[in-house]
Structure 1
Amino acid sequence: MSQAPITPLTLRGGAGTLAAWEARPPAGVEVRGTVVLVPGFTGSKEDFEAMLPLLAHDGYRAVAYDQRGQWQSDGPDDISGYTMDDFTGDLIRVLDQVSPNEPVHLVGHSFGGYVSRVVVIAAPHRVRSFTLLASGPSSIEDINFPPPQLVAQFVEAGGQEAIWQQMSTAMFDSGNAPAPERLEFLHNRILATKKANILGILKVMEVPPVADPAVLRDAGVPILVAYGDTNDLWAPGVHENFAAQLHAETAVYHGVGHLPNEDVPAQVCADLVKFWEETA
């Protein structure tokens, strides 16, 4: 069967337009629901490029978007426009536009999981299931990442290029560097992402998105915690403990780091579909 095409989609956010992609089930495939995928810090819709057609092939309309100020989405130039309320408000607007009458399967990668979990608590009736994809409990402790305030000082001084140099050195050693064209895209993307977005997210990350996991658990939405067990920002034990606190299912990707959505997209999609079928 031919691969479902990815098409551009323009959505309305609270600070202008949000650039998005969608893939729809091909003709003859029963539509089983809508999936919204939320990217993380310095990410974009392209982080889910390999997943969107696979999910559509399995019967799900799949939508991913750039958060405000990321890559091709509009966003303010001042850090004050990047609070958690701003990010969650945009996500609610996205849900209103792509699936106003039916709850969605929500997938948040890393910081996208932070934003998504706040929406799950605020509006659980809008969400059929929630997946935390390489998204641990907080950026304050039990994380292999410098303190957000320290990173913010680094960005203030050196801008997007400085954080690119830091992140690329940390993530892409000689054994796992992406192809040159992919590396060029990642570099261009972070340069195009607004400095205020980067600083705003770092400010948001200074406080755990949900202080008590029981609040998220008690929202009553089925939860999947999916993560790689090698060089993720959070150690496997941190994810495992978080999943236990949430009474969540787990999916573990052996030998994979912080980007299972890119490294093993077919396996991630298979786990998602299995989870959705079991919790339907």
Structure 2
Amino acid sequence: MSRATESRIVPMSLRGGAGALAGWECAPPPGVATRGTAVLVPGFTGSKEDFAGLLPILADAGFRCVAYDQRGQFESEGSEDRDDYTIETFSADLIGVVESLGAPVHLVGHSFGGYVARTAVVARPDLFSTFTLLASGPSSLQDIAFPPPAQVEQLIEAGGQDVVWQMLAGAGATEVLDQAKREFLHRRIFATRKANLVGIVRTMQTRPPAPAVVRAAGVPILVGYGDTGDLWAPEVHERFAAELGARVAVYRGVGHLPNEERPDQVRDDLVVFWTDGDARASVL
């Protein structure tokens, strides 16, 4: 991200149920009319920075964009009580954020952020104009390339953030990164509260709202995913999208982070989805 782009992202503080949530806001530049507000929710071990390449280019297209660290994640406040990190508390934070920004908004949930978003959409569909699941499959209990969540919970309880860092390194997730990015990811993991990590993994041991329930909420849905090395295979995403009655965007040669690997293409699909009810999201 260039310095000029970075300067357009403004830190903000949002109210969460466990304290302040660290957020980023990026508004359309002067001369560009605002066409709506988008809220982007990161996943397990993630943060608002996962959307650094996406926020400014969505803002250029006329959308006020807000991303935030979930409770106990990176720069957001949170308790050390594992019981404070449930799908209900995460989704309540999201609902509170949207209400404070002014509804309805376009909602984007990446990975576990999609689980949180699904719960919020079912609880308060009136708050959302559209809903996008980005690299976020049906559940973490089957058809996923992730260790059993109960096993991961035990490892984190025993070894804390270092275990999570070693898991990322062992999976090769840090090998291709430049030094600055690697150092940031290391800092982020160790700034995230252990209770957040344990709480999310506990939450992953339950199923999010069923596709039929999400579909019945009546909010238009887009499912976007990479076809190479995501946690869920393409056929799993495809089946999930059909159950949701969702549009589909496939990012060729991309893994679990299309928001970082193909931000321009993700932007194009989101803008089409958000602005043209008759158009289909492109398959890239």
TM-score, length basis structure 1: 0.96
Residue of structure 2 in register with 1:189 after alignment: 188
Residue of structure 2 in register with 1:248 after alignment: 246
Residue of structure 1 in register with 2:53 after alignment: 50
Residue of structure 1 in register with 2:9 after alignment: 6
Give yes or no for contact 1:260–1:268 (8 Å, CA) kept in 2: yes
Give yes or no for contact 1:35–1:105 (8 Å, CA) kept in 2: yes
Residue of structure 1 in register with 2:281 after alignment: none
Select the residue among 22, 35, 38 that pairs with 2:38: 35
Residue of structure 1 in register with 2:72 after alignment: 69
1:237 pairs with 2:235: yes
Q: Structure 2 CA distance, aligned partners of 1:80 and 1:279?
A: 40
Residue of structure 1 in register with 2:178 after alignment: 179
From the superposition, tell whether residues 241 and 90 of structure 1 become closer, same or farther in structure 2 (CA, over 3 Å).
Answer: same
Q: Structure 2 CA distance, aligned partners of 1:246 and 1:104?
A: 20
One-letter amino acid of the counterpart of residue 154, structure 1: L
Give yes or no for contact 1:222–1:279 (8 Å, CA) kept in 2: no
Q: Structure 2 CA distance, aligned partners of 1:112 and 1:82?
A: 13
How is 1:121-160 mapped onto 2 (pairs within 5 angstroms)? 121-160=122-161
Q: Which of 57-66 and 153-162 deviates more? A: 153-162
Q: Which of 160-169 and 49-58 deviates more? A: 160-169
Q: Structure 2 CA distance, aligned partners of 1:277 and 1:155?
A: 42
One-letter amino acid of the counterpart of residue 42, structure 1: T
One-letter amino acid of the counterpart of residue 234, structure 1: W
Q: Structure 1 CA distance, aligned partners of 2:96 and 2:217?
A: 20
Q: Structure 1 CA distance, aligned partners of 2:123 and 2:193?
A: 27
Percentage of identical aligned residues: 59
Residue of structure 2 in register with 1:202 after alignment: 201
What whole-Å deviation, never above 9, does each CA across 1:44-63 have from its counterpart, x for those lacking one? 00000000100100000000
Residue of structure 1 in register with 2:107 after alignment: 106
SS at match of 1:112: helix
SS at match of 1:161: helix
Q: Structure 2 CA distance, aligned partners of 1:251 and 1:64?
A: 21
Q: Structure 1 CA distance, aligned partners of 2:173 and 2:91?
A: 31
Q: Which of 153-162 and 133-142 deviates more? A: 153-162
Q: Provide structure 2 residue ranges, at least 5 long, that are not aligned to the other structure.
A: 279-284
One-letter amino acid of the counterpart of residue 83, structure 1: T
From the superposition, tell whether residues 173 and 38 of structure 1 become closer, same or farther in structure 2 (CA, over 3 Å).
Answer: closer
One-letter amino acid of the counterpart of residue 51, structure 1: L
Q: CA deviation at 1:84?
A: 1.1
What whole-Å deviation, never above 9, does each CA across 1:14-52 have from its counterpart, x for those lacking one? 011000001000111010000000000010000000001
Q: Structure 1 CA distance, aligned partners of 2:144 and 2:85?
A: 22
SS at match of 2:40: strand
Give yes or no for contact 2:174–2:182 (8 Å, CA) kept in 1: no
Q: CA deviation at 1:168?
A: 2.4
Q: CA deviation at 1:279?
A: 2.4
Q: Structure 1 CA distance, aligned partners of 2:174 and 2:82?
A: 32
Q: Structure 2 CA distance, aligned partners of 1:78 and 1:182?
A: 30
SS at match of 1:54: helix
Q: CA-atom RMSD, angstroms?
A: 1.2
One-letter amino acid of the counterpart of residue 23, structure 1: C
Q: Structure 2 CA distance, aligned partners of 1:70 and 1:254?
A: 30
Residue of structure 1 in register with 2:120 after alignment: 119
Give yes or no for contact 2:168–2:174 (8 Å, CA) kept in 1: no
SS at match of 2:8: coil
Q: CA deviation at 1:189?
A: 0.2
One-letter amino acid of the counterpart of residue 38, structure 1: V
Give yes or no for contact 1:68–1:75 (8 Å, CA) kept in 2: yes
SS at match of 1:93: helix
Q: Structure 2 CA distance, aligned partners of 1:35 and 1:159?
A: 33
